[in-house]
Structure 1
Amino acid sequence: MRKCKRVSLYAAAFLCAGFLSGCQAGSDNLGNQVTVQDDAGQMQEERILTFFAPVEGKSSGAVSYREMIDRYNGEHSSKLVFEGIATADGYDRYLEERLDAGAGDDVFIVNEDSVKPLYSKDHFYDLSALPAFEKLNANAKSEAVIGDIAYCIPMNMTAYALYVNLDVLEKYGLTPPKDLEDFNTCCETMKGQGQTPISLSRWHATAVPTIANGLYKLYNASDHPEQIEKLNTGELQIGDYMLEGFGMFREAVQKGWYGDGVNGKAVDALRAGEQDIPDFASGRTAFYFGPLEYIPWVEETNSKLDYQVQGVPVPGGTVLLTSVVSRLCVNPESEYLEDALDFVTYLSDDYYRESVKNGDVLLPVYENVEFELGNERMRPAYETYLSGVQIPAEDMQLKFGCWDTVRELCLSIADGMTDQEAADQYNRIQKEQLEKYKQ
């Protein structure tokens, strides 16, 4: 923690110099008032807030956040200072430690797997009264809520989908799969002629098709909120839903659709994007499960690739696993709560509209805001987003985990665990996590 603080404070000093021109006097702890000299030479009090966010990757938005903060600071009496580190360097851990210690961070971005732990510690201010929340479309609004509060304002939406190499399919006289039956036929045909059908990685290749084929019935049901509640009480067991998904994944492994000799250790060693994207882009595989924000990565790997991005095949059609790219949150302990809420409103309006205009928004977040698809390759996925079944990659209304748990169980299936054993194990995990949640 000491190293992070030192890095953060140096960064804050640098950013203060960049954002707060004319900052003449020293400041105390971040989030407190500082004395500054205005253009007329008069001393006045100025409020300094911190915005903590991840700074790495194609979807962090750090550069555009800085630009919007600079603009905000030029128009408002309160000032924002941007701080952040890479997720790989421990962003999630540092965020939780900073909030636990009451160290500031008036506004922050939370990653998906940190939402439930931070919610359990009351680290989210309820944003449901903000106009920005009311303007969200149904998909974004459902993912902005945990328990009885709106814990974030989504700044962008993504989805985990199926990338299809059209050149490879054409080689075998195949067409993009419209459902799981078509997908299985494609895989059987290609494997029978020596082609590995599906790219492999430890995250997307395991969790995406398994969750999709395990939970499509749940999220397509008109009474799925009631079923979610029964899952949270333990009256319904998650393994009973996921059995179908585990069976689909086990079959794909056993038939060699991910390649021959696949085992849990080998799968767990494959980081997302390192091998699966090159294999897909080069034609060594025909299918790649991945997020929409990886489209530029795919195209950088092979600029001449003929491909499309569509929903994940399940029985009877396709679905998307949706997720918020950037979750904008407010610390309920912020000393300048009104200023923090004002900044969120500013960012959710100006930043979002500018991002749509620049083609940076993957899937629409707000109702009645003009939206143009940034890449026509993903139109099939976009159409599923508009009218098909969406499954949250991590449903914040569930009081137990999904994404990480499913991935770990898929690794065990690759080592020989049966689909029924995986379902039974998930039921045990559900029970344990629900008991812990009650404590």
Structure 2
Amino acid sequence: MGESTDTSVFSRHSSHSLTRRGFCAAAAASALLFLAPGCTSSRNVVVDDTDVDAAAVQLTFFGFKYEPLNVIAIEEALHGYMDENGGVSIVYESIKSLPYFDALDKRLAAGLGDDVFMVDHDTVLEFEAAGYLADLSDLATISSFSELALSQMRSEGAIDYVPTSISAFGLYCNTDMLAAYGVSVPRTFAEFERACEKFVAEGVLPVVANNDISLKTVAIARGLADVYDSADPTAAIVSFNDDHAGLVSHLREGFEVVERMISGGWVDAGLALETEKTADDLSQFATGAYPFMLTGAWASVRMHDLAPDLEFDVHPYPVLDDRSVLVVNVDTRVSVNANGPHVEQAKDFVTYLTRPGPIELFANSQCSFSPLIGNAAPDDGSLAPIAAAFESGVTVIGSDDNLHLPIWSSVRECVAALLEGRTAEEAEALLAELIATASGQGGESV
């Protein structure tokens, strides 16, 4: 199904009124369009209100959350805020995945940035330097955030964004298929290796992997687990800002695990390169023909919709010698345009968005943990194993704000190189080059 970035599912120029009830009905009816194979990276969604033109203040909110449940939660927050602030209207627009960040960068660079927008770790690094991000330190809700969230938000002193979720990444296990083959849910890398080798011997491709986060988070989990299990993980991560070689060396072990998965036939490298996140991968796993899938926990609710009869649980990554490890991100970050025409009103909306009610509704719609004190877990029962791991175990932060290097995008590029046939040694060298370039060291080794 071909798409372009100007295709609107809910258009601000629509001729019919978009009431809350009408929106929810439209979102439910269009869910299959969002989840259908081929509907991928550039669908555009707009949540509008019929009184936009009459409002004294008109805010725009740009993001990358486009899925029906997420958009419904955002729409609830928008209407809740507008109910309390009669002179304000808000329009939400979304583009999925990587094209979103290209569009966001172009809008801000042209002085046409939205009042409120979503960011990630790497764009925060860029936008801080460019002066695009308003300081949110004075928001009344800041004290409500958990220690984990605050450790990321305050990494630079000023608070340039607020998170609306803590996302997790996991190993989806087709429990019926595992039982049929006499395979237990793997807890260690050795158990994972034995399980995958058994499936390969039976002519079954063990792991569904996408071309974005699947193997990237595996590499980070294995490479940085010992850092986050140290006495002072924040200090250890901060040290990598000067000790680039140390960071690269740690991630080499993660690249070796990915290389083993590829060489062992646990993943189909060519297929993974073409498999889009939260789209093609879900369609593959929904067939019931694969025992494992690596992706974000947020995909769980979509899996239930795609394959109601598929029994699965989501577990931490079995990538260590003695245990599994959970990768998380302080995520779905929202910033205010420092150069926008309505900075204070935009900050007031973000304050409303980060109240317990709206934020926990939004986090749960993403099958993610709340970033507020207590870190309320999502209510999807399939995520119970990662909820238990989050509560009791050591977690690895996939893109830590205390690390001022674009690890998220750089490791993705290195994993793509592995899928294309490069070795772990070559991936390590590539990471060194990418970090050197990002830190302004040109071609110097690190």
Query: Hey, what does 2:51 align to over in structure 1?
Result: 20
Query: Hey, what does 2:359 align to over in structure 1?
Result: 352
**One-letter amino acid matched to 1:226:** A
User: Counterparts in 2 of 1:268-307, with a 5 A limit?
Assistant: 268-307=273-312
The alpha-carbon distance between structure 1 residues 98 and 410, as it changes in their structure 2 partners (threshold 3 A), is: closer
Query: Hey, what does 2:339 align to over in structure 1?
Result: 333
CA drift at 1:161: 0.8
CA drift at 1:131: 3.2
CA drift at 1:106: 2.5
**One-letter amino acid matched to 2:345:** D
Pair 1:364-2:370 in alignment: yes
The alpha-carbon distance between structure 1 residues 242 and 51, as it changes in their structure 2 partners (threshold 3 A), is: same
**One-letter amino acid matched to 1:419:** A
How many residues get paired? 405
**More displaced, 77-86 or 149-158?**
77-86
State the secondary structure of the residue aligned to 2:368.
coil
Unaligned 5+ runs, structure 2? 19-46
State the alpha-carbon separation in 2 of the partners of residues 198 and 393 from structure 1: 21
**One-letter amino acid matched to 2:337:** N
State the alpha-carbon separation in 1 of the partners of residues 63 and 171 from structure 2: 29
The alpha-carbon distance between structure 1 residues 435 and 157, as it changes in their structure 2 partners (threshold 3 A), is: same
CA drift at 1:297: 2.3
Query: Hey, what does 2:423 align to over in structure 1?
Result: 418
The alpha-carbon distance between structure 1 residues 94 and 271, as it changes in their structure 2 partners (threshold 3 A), is: closer
CA drift at 1:10: 5.1
Higher gyration radius (CA): 1
State the alpha-carbon separation in 2 of the partners of residues 275 and 18 from structure 1: 33
CA drift at 1:125: 1.6
Query: Hey, what does 2:159 align to over in structure 1?
Result: 150
Q: Is the 8 A contact 1:20 1:73 kept in 2?
A: no
Instruction: Normalising by structure 1, report the TM-score.
Output: 0.81
The alpha-carbon distance between structure 1 residues 10 and 324, as it changes in their structure 2 partners (threshold 3 A), is: farther
Pair 1:427-2:432 in alignment: yes
Q: Is the 8 A contact 2:301 2:367 kept in 1?
A: no
State the alpha-carbon separation in 2 of the partners of residues 200 and 255 from structure 1: 14
The alpha-carbon distance between structure 1 residues 436 and 49, as it changes in their structure 2 partners (threshold 3 A), is: farther
Q: Which of 206, 224, 244 in structure 1 is aligned with 2:253?
A: 244
Pair 1:398-2:407 in alignment: no
> For each residue in 1:253-308, what CA deviation from the matched residue of structure 2 results, as whole angstroms up to 9, or x when unmatched?
1111114xx45xx5322222454334433332211001111112222232112211
Q: Which of 82, 91, 96 in structure 2 is aligned with 1:82?
A: 91
Q: Is the 8 A contact 1:154 1:325 kept in 2?
A: yes
Q: Which of 376, 379, 382 in structure 1 is aligned with 2:381?
A: 376
State the alpha-carbon separation in 2 of the partners of residues 290 and 190 from structure 1: 20
User: Counterparts in 2 of 1:167-182, with a 5 A limit?
Assistant: 167-182=176-191
Query: Hey, what does 2:80 align to over in structure 1?
Result: 71
Q: Is the 8 A contact 2:164 2:362 kept in 1?
A: no
- CA RMSD of superposed structures (Å): 3.2
Instruction: Normalising by structure 2, report the TM-score.
Output: 0.80
The alpha-carbon distance between structure 1 residues 195 and 53, as it changes in their structure 2 partners (threshold 3 A), is: closer
Unaligned 5+ runs, structure 1? 24-33, 35-45
Q: Is the 8 A contact 1:198 1:257 kept in 2?
A: yes
Q: Is the 8 A contact 1:246 1:419 kept in 2?
A: yes
The alpha-carbon distance between structure 1 residues 325 and 165, as it changes in their structure 2 partners (threshold 3 A), is: same
> For each residue in 1:135-170, what CA deviation from the matched residue of structure 2 results, as whole angstroms up to 9, or x when unmatched?
111232234345332222211221111111111221
**One-letter amino acid matched to 2:423:** T
- Runs (4+) of structure 1 moved beyond 6 Å? 14-17
Query: Hey, what does 1:40 align to over in structure 2?
Result: none
State the secondary structure of the residue aligned to 1:374.
coil
The alpha-carbon distance between structure 1 residues 429 and 64, as it changes in their structure 2 partners (threshold 3 A), is: same
CA drift at 1:56: 2.1
The alpha-carbon distance between structure 1 residues 176 and 424, as it changes in their structure 2 partners (threshold 3 A), is: same
Q: Which of 183, 206, 215 in structure 1 is aligned with 2:224?
A: 215
> For each residue in 1:166-204, what CA deviation from the matched residue of structure 2 results, as whole angstroms up to 9, or x when unmatched?
112212222111121221121122222332221132223
CA drift at 1:77: 5.2
Q: Is the 8 A contact 2:153 2:159 kept in 1?
A: yes
Pair 1:317-2:348 in alignment: no
The alpha-carbon distance between structure 1 residues 160 and 150, as it changes in their structure 2 partners (threshold 3 A), is: same
CA drift at 1:360: 5.6
Q: Is the 8 A contact 1:146 1:397 kept in 2?
A: yes
**One-letter amino acid matched to 2:96:** T
